[in-house]
Amino acid sequence: MVDITDKEVTSRVAVACTKVIMKPDTLAQIKAGKIGKGDVLAVAQVAAIMAAKKTADWIPMCHPLPLTGINILFSDNGVDELYIEGSVKTTGKTGVEMEALTAVSAAALTVYDMCKALQKDMVIGPTQLVAKSGGKSGDYRMPSSE
């Protein structure tokens, strides 16, 4: 791991996103609450929070961090794409980019797990860092594709 002993404590935020592409009927059943395993978005939200809190347990070079906030948002295009955005906050010596990326990945994998009986060919991704603030390297915002 990188030695962060001499780094300054700052407020840090990272936002990541991903999407799950699926058949329109799968998305409709998620939104209607008709998936046999339960409320897909509620379970995916809990999975995302749990994963963010445990990132250092399965990403070898990550520092364990005391997270001060995690927010997971879901939206969709009304047809065949479910969007997942995760925002993670801390006050510390290292950033929370990996925690945000882990959160949205876990949420997407949970959606897949809960819906795989209905559809096995769902596609996850791209998964990417949208923005980050705080720390020595300063702020970052993903360049606009427009």
Instruction: Decide if 113 is catalytic.
Output: yes
Q: What is the pLDDT of residue 146?
A: 62
Of 39, 113, 121, 139, the catalytic one is 113
Q: Where are the domains of the chain?
A: 23-134
* Per-residue pLDDT in tens (0 to 9) along the chain, 146 residues: 899 998 889 999 999 999 999 999 999 999 999 999 999 999 999 999 999 999 999 999 999 999 999 999 999 999 999 999 999 999 999 999 999 999 999 999 999 999 999 999 999 999 999 999 998 888 999 998 66
Pairing of strands 67-76, 81-92: antiparallel
Q: Is the dihedral of CA 62, 66, 11, 89 positive or negative?
A: positive
The correct CATH number of 23-134 out of 3.40.710.10, 3.30.70.640, 3.40.47.10, 3.40.50.2000 is 3.30.70.640
